[in-house]
Structure 1
Amino acid sequence: MTSPAPAAVPPQLNGSSLPRAGGTPVAPGPAADEGLARRLRALACTAPLHDLDARKANLAGEYGCYAMAEVALAAIDLVTLNMDFDTGADHEQIVARLLPRVAAQAPGRPPAEHERVARWVLENLINVGSVDRGFRAVYGTFGPDGSYVRRDYDFKLIEELPGHGGTVFLRTTDEAVNVLVGALDTDVTSAQIAAEVKLEVLISRGRLADAQLAAEQARYRTVQYAETLRKTLDATRRNVRAVDWLHQVPDMIAEALDHVADRYRHENAILTNIRKARDEAETGNDPKTAEHKRRAAELVDIVKDCIRRHTQLQSRLLEAGPLFRAEQDRQAFAPPAARSGLDLYGQLLAPVLPLPVEQAGRVTDAFFARGTGLRTPTSVRVGDLVEMLLTPPAEREHLGAEMPEPDLITTPDDSRFSEAQLASAMELLDLPADAPRRLSGLLADARRRDPELPYLVALLAVHAASPSVGSAYRQGEQTLLFAVDDGTPLDDVEFGGADLIVGTALLDAAGMAADRTEAA
């Protein structure tokens, strides 16, 4: 009796081999591995939303009645639809629009609790507590040799970006938009075309409820396409060499313009079909008819928003070429940096290595003493801290500390003319209103009184050549000194110029009194 042949041992099923029909293991293909990696990244993008429901028990209070993942999806939806090409959504506006959804989950709770939930969800989507405000997931792929390799996947859902005037606005990332539409790393153009075709078919068949969902997905893809272009232009503004403007970006712009032209044609046709479906709906009190018309009206608004976004995208696409040329000129002819960087190898390491330790130590000590930055201060000892906290405060005076007596120094009188000289000059210039005099005669009279007095008289006469009539009028002055040049040259041993006519003018006292009475 012969023993049966041993059964074939099945090949081991592990991550690096798959069974073939003949029993020979084969490594998975790159397409299959890439598909698995895409699904793993898609799963990682939803993890922060599920984590919200897991961590809501840590909040101080009873928050089990709130569905945090639903609130998070609504927040991503609101930020996506409220952001524009150049700007984003306002933080406070998003919180305000989240409040009705949060309040609907727990209508009996106070409004302050609803606001706290909305802010907590939005801050966790931004990941405020982390250093770079991002999320990280670890997934595994297979290398060319069939080995299992772990990779890090860093992503963000909502970003805070600076705006004009020191403001901060919110923008959703590609990963957040993919969470909304249920896919990841999907080609934007192909996904947009598929969404438009699906939307047109659903509308033609009258399935407006499904058509509304398809229209919203098409709008999300439009936002994602604009976000791709915005990032490309931002990278160009930072460094024009970091973006391939020779092949990649021109091809992308050409495809995007064709895409926008096709979308215009499709969206206008879709808009016509929606309006036709809305207008052909029977009037009456039938709930199904009313729901049908409401869906059609909402679809009209969504498709109009898609057309608006495509118009904005087209204008940005047409501006991309001039922006590249302007940035190329600006960055190519920008002045060099005022200070060059330090070449550690050429300026420090290479010259120091051949030196003896004694000489090299002085160089390295001097470099690291100035290159390591500020030193962290030593920590306070527990004994000193306890003594400082337990020491009672010193008694303070009710009126505070005594102020020191200031040392006052008499300012020396450095004026050139004395009070007597000023009084003498004013006496000379106190002329009758009907008897003006020449400056030469006043200087001669002043010189007979005091050798220094002519300088003061000349100064006052020159100042009177442009009298402050308005100030004297407002202050209630009765007379005003004036000086007029009639072209006569001054003949004097010390002064030159014009021989001014100096006189006294009478001001209207009655008019001044009337003005003051009216002002009172």
Structure 2
Amino acid sequence: MSVAALSVADVNEHVVTRPPVRPTPAPGPAADEGLARRLRALACTAPLHDLDVRKANLAGEYGTYAMAEVALAAIDLVTLHMDFDTGADHEEIVARLLPRVAAQAPDRTAAEHERVARWVLENLINVGSVDRGFRAVYGTFGPDGAYVRRDYDFKLVEEVPGPGGGVYLRTTDEAVNVLVGALDTDVTSAQIAAEVKLEVLISRGRLADAQLAAEQARYRTVQYAETLRRTLDATRRDVRAVDWLSTVPDMITEALDHVADRYRHENAILTNIRKARDEAAAERGPDHKRRAAELVDIVKDCIRRHTQLQSRLLEAGPLFRAEQDRQAFATPAARAGVDLYGQLVAPLLPLPLEDAVRVTDAFFAHGAGLRTPGAVRVADLVEVLLAPPAPREHLGAEMPAPDLVVTPDDSRFSGEQFDAAAELLELPPDAPRRLSGLLADARARHPDDPELPYLIALLAVHAASPSVGTAYRQGEQRLLFAADDGTELDDPEFGGADLVVGTALLDAAGMAADRTEAA
């Protein structure tokens, strides 16, 4: 069959339909992690570039200043001057920035140099924002290949309270990463790599490159100490927020091993630097010796910081146990705080205005606190002090008459019922009776009083434990008593034991003798 003889139906029948071409899914989170690292690294440098863009908004001509260079110098100074417990002093950083700012524009005034230094430092702190932090938006691919935008919040320089009550400056990990040109780098591996690089450069006599490597090693040392400091601060706030079961003990063990290795390594480097400084050939000039001397100071500072870090690591365990005891036995808060959104804003939003105003007025009236009283005037004070004293009554002020309210009588039994019961229970001392007989007499003598048998039964039960001492001291002649001899009570209304109720005579002569002795 020729091609010309094929019909359209035959062609459609023999043509194989190909599936539509679908786009290849984007790499997953693991493959995209490298891109995310670079995007975050780029975000950390954005505030420094933004300084050069916004310097045109300053009142005056500041185009000659390289603000990003000043910012890097400020981060460098804060990093090197902060300690484990405290940070860098704000005024000291400004004073040390002034020579670099003045070198960029030597013909400008000292006041302008100081203004530039303070402006750069305040922008690194991000003064004026709510949380004093920076935010960058970058995109990654989710597990399903969808493009997801994420927020990256970071800080470069932050203000922290000091032990003496002052405010100090500390650089964050992001700021240190800007200095060394890396992001999210493992502290231990970066420190080892920097010191190996430093040792190789010194052995080859490249002291200029060795100085840069030594400064990077010192930055990593500071970052390692910052990691431990944040862990201890979180422990002081809440021991449950830090994993002291496995993560922190492993970190402390690794850190102690790291410090011991670095201490031996840095001492060997220090010996090689001193040897290179002392044995420098004359043809290399004084610059070689100066760089060697600077390297000695930098490595000494690294050794000092490692020694301080080791002492803090050894104190971490006792600090955790002390904080655990303190927080475990701390007195709980008297009452929970107020959730403004859940307890005030959310319930009020659906209400009409006239109903919501009453609630907000009451809340702010109680939340505003007490009003400050007006200042005392001298004229009022003098008048009060010079006023003659008011005459007082000799017998004092008249006492107000109390308002007496008659207490209602809520007794179940009346006085007549008590008299009738006393008459029934007035038994001869030598003729006790059964409770069943007394109940029958009460019903026979007072058929119209159904409550009297209950009073007889109550008095008989009370007489089963008579207060002999009280009756003896009060001078009573007779005492009602009741005893159980094992006989069961046969009565239509009451059950239990058929008590034997009788009257006992008290020793009147003995009571009189006792009262005479007491008198």
Fold conserved between structures, TM > 0.5: yes
* Structure 2 residue 261 is the aligned partner of structure 1 residue 262: yes
Q: Map residues 88-487 of structure 1 onto 2, 5 A cutoff.
A: 88-283=87-282, 286=283, 288-340=284-336, 370-371=362-363, 406=383, 409-410=387-388
Distance between the aligned counterparts of 1:108 and 1:173, measured in 2?
35
Question: How far apart are residue 276 of structure 1 and its match?
Answer: 1.2
Aligned-partner SS, 1:87? coil
Question: How far apart are residue 340 of structure 1 and its match?
Answer: 4.0
- Contact persistence 2:98–2:113 (CA under 8 A): yes
Distance between the aligned counterparts of 1:315 and 1:331, measured in 2?
24
Aligned-partner SS, 2:62? coil
TM-score, normalised to structure 1's length? 0.64
Distance between the aligned counterparts of 2:68 and 2:329, measured in 1?
51
Question: How far apart are residue 29 of structure 1 and its match?
Answer: 4.0
Question: How far apart are residue 375 of structure 1 and its match?
Answer: 9.7
Unaligned stretches of 5+ in structure 1? 3-7, 18-24, 377-400, 415-520
Distance between the aligned counterparts of 1:9 and 1:316, measured in 2?
65
Question: How far apart are residue 346 of structure 1 and its match?
Answer: 13
In the TM superposition, what whole-angstrom CA distance separates every residue of 1:398-453 from its partner, at most 9, and x where no partner exists? xxx99999585445999xxxxxxxxxxxxxxxxxxxxxxxxxxxxxxxxxxxxxxx
Q: Which residue identity does 2:217 align to in structure 1? A: A
Q: Which residue identity does 1:101 align to in structure 2? A: R
Question: How far apart are residue 336 of structure 1 and its match?
Answer: 1.4
Distance between the aligned counterparts of 2:170 and 2:357, measured in 1?
48
Q: Which residue identity does 1:292 align to in structure 2? A: H
What percent identity do the matched residue pairs reach?
Answer: 81
Question: How far apart are residue 282 of structure 1 and its match?
Answer: 1.8
CA shift in 2, pair 1:90/1:10, >3 Å: farther
Question: How far apart are residue 365 of structure 1 and its match?
Answer: 8.8
Distance between the aligned counterparts of 1:190 and 1:58, measured in 2?
43
User: RMSD of the TM alignment (CA)?
Assistant: 3.6
CA shift in 2, pair 1:403/1:250, >3 Å: closer
Aligned-partner SS, 1:152? strand
- Contact persistence 2:81–2:87 (CA under 8 A): yes
Question: How far apart are residue 370 of structure 1 and its match?
Answer: 4.3
Distance between the aligned counterparts of 1:375 and 1:327, measured in 2?
34
Match for residue 474 of structure 2? none
Question: How far apart are residue 40 of structure 1 and its match?
Answer: 0.3
Q: Which residue identity does 1:299 align to in structure 2? A: L
CA shift in 2, pair 1:60/1:362, >3 Å: closer
Question: How far apart are residue 87 of structure 1 and its match?
Answer: 0.1
* Structure 2 residue 58 is the aligned partner of structure 1 residue 59: yes
CA shift in 2, pair 1:31/1:342, >3 Å: closer
Q: Which residue identity does 2:253 align to in structure 1? A: A
TM-score, normalised to structure 2's length? 0.64
- Contact persistence 2:86–2:163 (CA under 8 A): no
Match for residue 396 of structure 1? none
Unaligned stretches of 5+ in structure 2? 4-17, 369-377, 393-519
Question: How far apart are residue 30 of structure 1 and its match?
Answer: 3.0
Aligned-partner SS, 1:334? coil
Distance between the aligned counterparts of 2:44 and 2:262, measured in 1?
29
- Contact persistence 2:187–2:223 (CA under 8 A): yes
> Is the radius of gyration larger for structure 1 or structure 2?
2
Number of aligned residue pairs? 362
Distance between the aligned counterparts of 2:239 and 2:259, measured in 1?
25
Distance between the aligned counterparts of 2:307 and 2:209, measured in 1?
26
Match for residue 429 of structure 1? none
Distance between the aligned counterparts of 2:149 and 2:81, measured in 1?
37
CA shift in 2, pair 1:184/1:10, >3 Å: farther
Distance between the aligned counterparts of 1:315 and 1:240, measured in 2?
21
Distance between the aligned counterparts of 1:330 and 1:245, measured in 2?
16
- Contact persistence 2:28–2:141 (CA under 8 A): no
Match for residue 84 of structure 1? 83
CA shift in 2, pair 1:27/1:117, >3 Å: same
Distance between the aligned counterparts of 2:262 and 2:78, measured in 1?
23
Question: How far apart are residue 187 of structure 1 and its match?
Answer: 0.6
Q: Which residue identity does 2:110 align to in structure 1? A: P
Question: How far apart are residue 91 of structure 1 and its match?
Answer: 0.3
Aligned-partner SS, 1:28? coil
CA shift in 2, pair 1:340/1:46, >3 Å: closer
Question: How far apart are residue 326 of structure 1 and its match?
Answer: 0.3
Aligned-partner SS, 2:285? helix
- Contact persistence 2:29–2:142 (CA under 8 A): no
Q: Which residue identity does 2:205 align to in structure 1? A: G
* Structure 2 residue 56 is the aligned partner of structure 1 residue 27: no
Question: How far apart are residue 345 of structure 1 and its match?
Answer: 13
